[in-house]
Structure 1
């Protein structure tokens, strides 16, 4: 085994060149976010004074081990942490200048799925087992755009085709349990992207998939991001994925940001001891 950093592929050069100018206003900003889970006998400070931002067309990776606070941070963007026991104890989450933590549920409902969408790690817990998958994709459009049932169905079929689902007309009529894990995740991506959101938050989107399907899903996300110029916040513990797909990285530990910066800079010259330990723990094949 070797402690060398994960080697980025050729896609990183193109991603680096297309990074937005530093003076452009971020599309999504998290500023001083603190999230508590107030239980009967204790309070868990899951997220503590976290700040990060992402520009249009940029991929920001948030990394850390389980329990580091990265998923709680991601779910906070659309206030999806269960409340109670979750309490947003401080900070702001600004999208296009509006603080999402201050919006009413009705106002936030207009943002969810239309401006900001999420892809979760287990589609079986997010897809309705009693509804056909195509209906679930089409419902996003009917809710946000007022499309007719026929128009929404045609757009949903196009979305299923765009994410590489074979025979979209057949899959449209099927239920989640009739699809493989990889196809279910593609349905989740189609559902997230069908309304053309400006920000996609992907929370460990490949964790439950085998290695081959993981690569297909990650390549798909990169392709669709470039096609639609989305900002992507990628939550992951896989540093090899970060090296290949992200522009910048935020490293979290025990609910706090311990390091942030350009991916190549952080991987080449990690400043924090925790980041160095993460990089050292990354499995590497010995050179032949």
Structure 2
């Protein structure tokens, strides 16, 4: 059972949803039991909007986000019910060939750890141009030009040189910028960022978050930000969804939820957020 939900949980986004989860249910089959990781989750995000999904580890937020691109491994994952609508089309009903057409082109994802997400045996430029080669009729020269533009747009210095390097030759912050460039080079409608700053130091975290906000505003994307950091949510998101045990316990406008949370779990999360107090 859910705890409680604000009246904003059913509010209409400022425009028609680009991505919508309707009563999503995701199970994982283990050797002796079944884990019900996502239990009837519903929310949506519109173009130009940033929606944060928060909750502790194991709350189901990443399993929900991965469902938008059917990236949960099947098996052990089983989509037990519900729909995931991308521009009105149910992603869960698509065949693998159709999924390949939308991944990277209409919806992209930035993962937690760029070192494990980037192929260590491929040069940076090849990984950024891969989406263009898969989804367009770009020549090699055109794809290279687009990739260099994307690398420059995400603030990578000397993109010509970085284009030919391998991931291990870059810092953690630059690797994450490469991941963002790869995710955005085909100008998707939706960007999902799953804990995009987890492996980075505090200074670089802020740079990456500011970059995501700037690019979101520039391109008018819908952004779904998966995080456990309520400070990040307060600074970057328009609306927030709070998850616990695979369910949505509260959702609504960020400022309203943070100032007047109705779910006890949300109040506990806010109370657990570290604060700098002046020394007496």
Q: State the TM-score, normalized to the length of structure 1.
A: 0.92
Q: Which stretches in structure 2 are left out of the alignment for 5+ residues?
A: 1-10
Name the counterpart of 1:51.
Answer: 42
Matches of residues 3-82 of structure 1 in structure 2 within 5 Å?
22=13, 24-82=15-73
Name the counterpart of 2:118.
Answer: 127
CA drift at 1:68? 0.4
Q: Find 2:244's aligned residue among 236, 248, 253.
A: 253
Q: Does 1:182 align with 2:173?
A: yes
Matches of residues 90-169 of structure 1 in structure 2 within 5 Å?
90-169=81-160
Could you list the per-position Cα deviations for residues 246-265 of structure 1 after superposition, in whole angstroms to 9, with x for gaps in the alignment? Answer: 00000000111000000000
8 Å CA contact 2:110–2:179 kept in 1: the answer is yes
C-alpha separation in 1, matches of 2:266 and 2:182: 34
C-alpha separation in 1, matches of 2:245 and 2:264: 14
Q: Find 2:211's aligned residue among 207, 220, 224.
A: 220
Quick check: 256-265 or 135-144, which moved more? 135-144
8 Å CA contact 2:13–2:44 kept in 1: the answer is no
Name the counterpart of 1:237.
Answer: 228
C-alpha separation in 1, matches of 2:217 and 2:18: 16
What is the number of equivalent residue pairs in this alignment?
269
C-alpha separation in 2, matches of 1:113 and 1:106: 13
Could you list the per-position Cα deviations for residues 54-84 of structure 1 after superposition, in whole angstroms to 9, with x for gaps in the alignment? Answer: 0000000000000000000011100101111
CA drift at 1:21? 7.3
Quick check: 121-130 or 223-232, which moved more? 121-130
Name the counterpart of 2:7.
Answer: none
CA drift at 1:24? 2.8
Question: Which runs of 4 or more aligned residues in structure 1 lie more than 6 Å from their structure 2 counterparts after TM superposition?
Answer: none
CA drift at 1:125? 1.3
8 Å CA contact 2:14–2:46 kept in 1: the answer is no
C-alpha separation in 1, matches of 2:75 and 2:143: 35
CA drift at 1:287? 3.8
Name the counterpart of 2:6.
Answer: none
What SS does the corresponding residue of 1:27 show, helix, strand or coil?
strand
What SS does the corresponding residue of 2:156 show, helix, strand or coil?
coil
The structure-2 alpha-carbon separation of the partners of 1:107 and 1:69, relative to structure 1 and needing over 3 Å to count, comes to: same
CA drift at 1:127? 0.8
Q: State the TM-score, normalized to the length of structure 2.
A: 0.94
Q: CA RMSD in A?
A: 1.2
CA drift at 1:22? 4.0
C-alpha separation in 2, matches of 1:90 and 1:209: 36
Q: Which stretches in structure 1 are left out of the alignment for 5+ residues?
A: 1-19
8 Å CA contact 2:54–2:243 kept in 1: the answer is yes
C-alpha separation in 2, matches of 1:79 and 1:146: 25
